[in-house]
Every structure is written in C-alpha cells, then in structure tokens.
Amino acid sequence: MKEALPRISRVALLSDPESDAGQARAAEVAARALGVGTQVLRAGRPGELEMALSSAQKNRAEALIVLSSASFYAHRAQVVALAVRYRLPAMYHNKEFVVGAGGLMSYGADFRDLFRRAAGYVDKILKGAKPADLPVEQPTKFELVINLKTAKALGLTIPQSLLLRADQVIE
C-alpha cells in the first residue's frame, strides 16, 4: 500500500474481533515503521461494515487494509463496494476480493500452492506418518494482484514498478 500511495500518512485497518489473532497489532507495528498512522476499525458482523468504513472516511483515512477474516471473505462484495463508495483505496489478503469482487489490490498467500503442499501432507499421513510429527510450514509463495479498473475509478495511478511485480493485472 505504501508503494502504491507513497504519500500516505494514515491507513484504516478493518479487523474482525472474532478472528484478528494479532493481525491488527502486527499491521500497526509495520505501519509505524513506515511512518504511517493507523486506525483500527472493528466489524464482527456484516451490519457493522458500513459504520466502520464511514468512520474511516470521517477520520481521514487515506487507505484501507482489510485483515484476514472468514466473515470479510464471505461478504467480500459488500466490503469492496463500501471501500469504493467511501473512496478508500483498499488492499486485501486474498485475490478473490480483487479478481471476483472488483477490489483494488491484494497481497497474500498463493492458495493453490498451499493446497498443493497440503496434498503432500495427506500423502505422508496416509502412508503412516503421525500428524504431530510433521513440521508446520508457513506460506512461501505470495501473489500480488492489481485492478487497474478500480484504480482508475478511484483516480489513482499505480506506479509502474508495482505493476511490473504484480502476478496479475486486471485492465
């Protein structure tokens, strides 16, 4: 987000209190290191999304980062529509917010790679390995997806350096 909007000074973090697991705190630390202020917006239910994004606009947030949440994923069309309505450039954790719902950009784990690697675990377990003996792995492959249609609708110009690194650009 900082590379897409170099002059950004304040970002809103949309957090689901039911599934945050420290995401907001980690995002606040990262933002502070970049000299960006944060505002945490808590929305646990779809009915709270409108109020949360309205609050971001009232508090002059210049962008929105939507943290990982099953609820946000299930209601991604509503989340994206509200971000666009409140003119908040938004970054999401999953490309389905961008590819299927029209969000601005996403950066997150490549789920196809995760599922492929999970198949290896299933194979080992079926061959007798004990699940408790298998190592926990972190994602190693991430995807950046940018939607230029949404960028244009928001009046944004995405830097060429970011577009060149994107795994997918929607035009």
The tens digit of pLDDT for each residue in 33-42 reads: 999 999 999 9
| CA atoms within 13 A of residue 59's CA, in its CB half-sphere | 19
Degrees to nearest 5, angle at CA 115 with 71 and 122:
120
As a whole number, the mean pLDDT across the chain is: 94
| 122-134 average pLDDT score | 94
pLDDT of residue 100: 87
pLDDT tens digits, 113-127: 999 999 999 999 999
pLDDT band at residue 129 under the 50/70/90 scheme = very high
- Write out the DSSP string of 43-96: --SGGGHHHHHHHHHHTT-SEEEE---HHHHHTHHHHHHHHHHTT--EEESSTH
| 55-79 average pLDDT score | 95
Is 0.95 surpassed by the pTM of this model? no
% of the chain with per-residue pLDDT over 70: 100
What are the distances in angstroms from CA 149 to CA 29, 56, 103, 117?
31, 23, 9, 33
Which residue shows structure tokens 């389905």?
Answer: 96
**Does residue 150 have a pLDDT over 90?**
yes
**Does residue 21 have a pLDDT over 90?**
no
Q: Is 124 exposed, middle or buried (0-12, 13-18, 19+ CB in 10 A)?
A: middle
Distance of CA 97 to the CA centre of its chain: 8
**Does residue 44 have a pLDDT over 90?**
no
Report the Cα–Cα distance between both ends of the chain, in Å, rounded: 19
pLDDT band at residue 12 under the 50/70/90 scheme = very high
**Does residue 153 have a pLDDT over 90?**
yes
pLDDT of residue 39: 96
Tell me the pairing of strands 105-109 and 142-147. antiparallel
